[in-house]
Amino acid sequence: MIKKILLAYDGSEPAKKALATALDLARKYQAELYVLTIAQPPDFGEEVETEAIIENSRSYHQRILAPVKHLVAASGVKAQFEVAVGHAAEQIIYHADRYKVDVIVLGHRGKSLFRRLLLGSVSKQVTQYADQSVLVVR
């Protein structure tokens, strides 16, 4: 039985498809929905620059969550929203454990084969390391 769902959301088209799937699952199973978006800090930079970039990123993520909040509210699904800061896959797994979710739902990012081999993907890392079931929506 699915009681808690974590949706990783970044505003992309695959994330919008994942949102529709997560809402469908939440309605079907009367599950709680946790919507997580992640502001990623830069790999380098001065402390002052980094703080400004993170704050701008948080603001951006709050803005992309606004329409999602309205859509979720209209669906009648009980949901919580959070903007985390850090590496995407690590934050998704951390929050899945923190909320003790049953399933993680996220969109598949289309990357070239070269980039996927070189960098990996968030969905691949989450699938590989999460203890929960992971539904990757294409």
Query: What would the pLDDT profile of 1-31 be if each residue is shown by its tens digit?
Result: 899 999 999 998 999 999 999 999 999 999 9
Q: Which domains does the chain have, with CATH numbers?
A: 4-137 (3.40.50.620)
**CA–CA gap between residue 52 and residue 54 (Å, rounded):** 5
pLDDT of residue 16: 94
Tell me the pTM. 0.86
Characterize 117-135 residue by residue with b for buried, 16 or more Cβ atoms within 10 angstroms of its Cβ, and e for exposed. eeeebbbbbbbeebebebb
Q: Are 31 and 121 in contact (CB under 8 A)?
A: no
Query: What would the pLDDT profile of 25-68 be if each residue is shown by its tens digit?
Result: 999 999 999 999 999 877 665 666 677 788 888 888 899 999 99
